[in-house]
Structure 1
Amino acid sequence: MSPRRLPHTPAWWFDGSPPPVWARLLAVVYAAVVALRRLGYRRGWWRRWHPGVPVIVVGNLVAGGSGKTPLVLALVEHLRAAGWTPGVASRGYGRQHARTPRWVTPDMSPAQCGDEPLLIAQATGVLVRVDRDRVAAARALAEAGCDIVVCDDGLQHYRLARDVEIEVQDVRRRYGNGRLLPAGPLREPLERAADCDLRVLNLGALAGAELAAGAGEWPMRLAPGELRPLGGGRRLPLSALAGQRVHAVAGIAEPERFFAMLRAVGIAVVPHAFPDHHVYAPEDFTFGSPLPVLMTEKDAVKCAAFARPDWYAVPVRAQLPEAFWQALRARLPTRAP
């Protein structure tokens, strides 16, 4: 599996070519800033804040997506089944009025809260708070009755004290060239991964990819669910479109992950890749051939308002070994009855 370049990212991050001199020079400055910031929090120069309930932070070292949202959904489901009342804190990337904290409700538009928080709210029904200040978001969730907070992204948001850190990494891209921004895709040095309590390797739907997981990495597979019509109505098994051609739409960090999942079940994919967090308009779907349209759930929340009857969302479910959940529970305090 060779590394794949993210759309709209420098080629040298993933293709093995040397970064330009300016990028390497800026990376030295960036490294100094990151090191100073980490030292400041370790030495107590800057204060960390804890909301008074357990905090699980899900994040990544590589710029761009890596499959955090499916893991957040799985965490919420597992915690709720174990008797917790989880809430989700998120920055709400790409939303309007980004400085205004907001509770996310399932009937909101993505422009108000961001596509990923809206997806989480619709899929789980738990409280979701978007706020640039993760500490304030966690506090609001705790005050609203949540007894555990899952922070979607925020590994580098050190001001929020956390009980468990989970790093998510994409199996195709890994750490790219291993360099810091902008010479490479890393937000923090590689050794930062060793500080995380749990490290999850997102395998997508790749067959046999479990072998790619190294020591200390938990494999996560994304299993597709039933097709959900964007306009409402009866769900269909994904196999209903096996052998057919479809337009596949993905505005995620790695669109090929979605396309490969569909091909794996025998669907003939006409791929349409868009930038991560793309804001869709009806004209984006002028494809020239009247085929069914399949898209990720993250894209579907932004297209429901103008969807046609043969447009479907393809939900995915994160599957992890039972040993992962045991390791997570071992790091959480005993829940009060």
Structure 2
Amino acid sequence: MERYFNRIWYQTPDPPLFLVLLSLVYRLVTKIRKLAYQRNLLHTSGVAVPVLVVGNLSVGGTGKTPLIIWLVAFLRKHGYHPGVISRGYGGQLSKTSTPALLPRNANPVLYGDEAVLIASRTTCPVVIGKSRLSAARHLLLVSNCDIILSDDGLQHLALQRDIEILVIDGMRQFGNQHCLPAGPLREPLSRINTIDLLVCNGNHFPGAFRMDLVGQTLTNLLDQQQQPVSFLRDKPLHVVTGIGNPQRFFQSLKLQGLDFDTRTFPDHHNYTAANLQFDDDSPILMTEKDAVKCYHLANRKIWMLPVEAQFDSTFSDALKHLLEEKHGRLKTT
């Protein structure tokens, strides 16, 4: 099913008519919902601290998690104490209505791979919950954060936000530009016009700041040994992924001179030992998002490649300006 829709969304300019008709219904429902918020039939509520929402228009992976991690470091540099709210996709607790603060060494099966990755990389408080508003309120109750980053909350209109950042997949962009299910868009493309900052992952897009995800150092899952990516060159290699857009990861590895076969699973896949079994002793490589779910399966063959988001100074300057504009000041260290 996933392959079917990816082919229609990203390789076919004219989707089947029945999907276009369903897309029109979807757009009508989303428009009515938005009007309900605008006319106070549904209510938007704020919290006592600024809220920055990081989201996307298209389904699937665009690079939000590395950006959230970068934003946490940026905000700390300028004197803030950030916290993160997330749905906790893929985790069992994401199906419950009660918000939950991630404990130390949180289990990704319970809390979701992205939330656990953010918490482990940033050590900032992370709360997951179905309702972004409830999660934000809970975060303020259990932490001293003075600014909130909402992971993938662009369409969660119940939570008032101060700044919206939209992440665009530079490889696939917006596909055939249809809304679900005829295309990959959660909202019409015109939504771009209301966004504060556009970020394009790995490419240029009109009006967007370019973000590059750079990974140059491998880490072994068993003993945390580190090696340059060149360590795996000219070796048989298995690359295993369970992410939204694995092709972007594969392309980045090829650009670094690696040759490999692939084994792909759906986004947020929970791994078993059988998923990592091969008929040889060749090394296995995965993303850091996959790795947080595989430490209990670790052996010396398994490596991960963490990535860091990189921008030029224009993005930092634009974000500083927005914070000053919205709140009248920018904290400094």
Report the TM-score when normalising by structure 2.
0.93
Q: Which residue does the alignment assign to 2:264?
A: 273
* RMSD over equivalenced CA pairs, Å: 1.7
Match of 2:110 among 88, 100, 112: 112
Count of aligned positions: 325
Structure 1 residue 232 and structure 2 residue 228: aligned? no
* Residue 147 (structure 2) pairs with residue 148 (structure 1): yes
Structure 1 alignment gaps of length 5 or more? 204-208
| Deviations 1:23-65, CA, capped at 9 Å, x for gaps | 1221111111111111222233322111111111000000111
CA distance in 1, matches of 2:3, 2:76: 36
Unaligned 5+ segments in structure 2 are: none
Counterpart among 304, 309, 318 of residue 295 in structure 2: 304
- Is the CA contact (8 Å cut-off) linking 1:106 and 1:118 kept in structure 2? no
1:93 and 1:8, CA in 2 relative to 1: closer, same or farther beyond 3 A?
farther
In the alignment, what sits opposite 2:54?
58
Distance 1:84 1:159 in 2: 24
Q: For residue 244 of structure 2, what is the aligned residue in structure 1?
A: 253
In the other structure, the counterpart of 2:133 is 135
Matched, 1:160 2:159: yes
What is the alpha-carbon distance in structure 1 between the residues aligned to residue 217 and residue 3 of structure 2? Answer: 28
CA–CA distance in 2 between the matches of 1:125 and 1:60? 24
**Which SS does the other structure have where 1:268 is aligned?**
coil
**Cα distance in structure 1, aligned partners of 2:156 and 2:135:** 12
Distance 1:285 1:101 in 2: 33
- Please state if 1:284 is matched with 2:279: no
Query: Could you say if the C-alpha distance between residues 106 and 260 of structure 1 is closer, same or farther in structure 2, counting changes exceeding 3 Å?
Result: farther
Question: Which 10-residue stretch deviates more, 268-277 or 189-198?
Answer: 268-277
- Opposite residue 155 of structure 1, the aligned amino acid is L
Deviation at 1:171, TM superposition (A): 1.2
Matched, 1:315 2:306: yes
Aligned to 1:21: 17
- Residue 80 (str. 1) matches residue 76 (str. 2): yes
1:7/1:73 CA distance change after superposition, 3 Å = farther
> Aligned equivalents of 1:155 and 1:186: distance in 2?
12
Q: Structure 1: which 4+ aligned runs deviate by more than 6 Å?
A: none
- List aligned pairs for 1:28-47, cutoff 5 A: 28-47=24-43
Give the Cα separation in 1 of the matches to 2:28 and 2:257: 49
The answer to whether the aligner puts 1:185 opposite 2:184 as a matched pair is: yes
Provide, for residues 48-93 of structure 1, a one-character-per-residue CA deviation record: whole Å limited to 9, x for no partner.
1111111110000001111111111111111111111000100001
Q: How far is the alpha carbon of 1:244 from its aligned partner? A: 2.2
User: d(CA) in 2 for partners of 1:20 and 1:65?
Assistant: 24
Give the distance between the partners of 1:154 and 1:252, measured in 2 at CA: 19
> What letter matches 1:26 in structure 2?
L
CA-to-aligned-CA distance 1:288-335 (integer Å, 9 cap, x gap): 221111110000011110111121110000001211111111111224
Per-residue CA distance 1:223-260 (angstroms, 9 max, x = gap)? 00421111233222222222322111121111111112
Q: Secondary structure at the match of 1:30?
A: helix
CA distance in 1, matches of 2:226, 2:177: 43
With 253-262 and 8-17 compared, the bigger mean Cα shift is at 8-17
SS of residue matched to 1:9: helix
Kept after mapping to 2: 8 A contact 1:104/1:129: yes
Instruction: Tell me, yes or no, if the aligned pair for 2:37 and 2:44 is still in contact at 8 Å.
Output: yes
SS in 1 for 2:217: coil
1:70 lines up with 2:61 in the alignment: no
Instruction: Determine the structure 2 residue equivalent to 1:126.
Output: 124
State the distance in 2 between where 1:268 and 1:45 align.
56
Q: Percent identity?
A: 42
- The answer on whether the counterparts of 1:142 and 1:148 sit within 8 Å (CA) in structure 2 is no
Judge conservation of contact 2:281–2:301 (CA < 8 Å) in 1: no
Q: Give the 3-state SS of the residue equivalent to 1:40 in structure 2.
A: helix
Q: Spell out, residue by residue over 1:105-160, the C-alpha distance to the aligned partner (whole angstroms, 9 max, x if none).
A: 34121111000000011111000000111011112222321001001101000111
1:8 shift after superposition: 6.0
Distance 1:225 1:90 in 2: 28
Aligned partner of 1:220 in structure 2 is 211
- The residue that corresponds to 1:206 in the other structure is none
SS at match of 1:305: helix
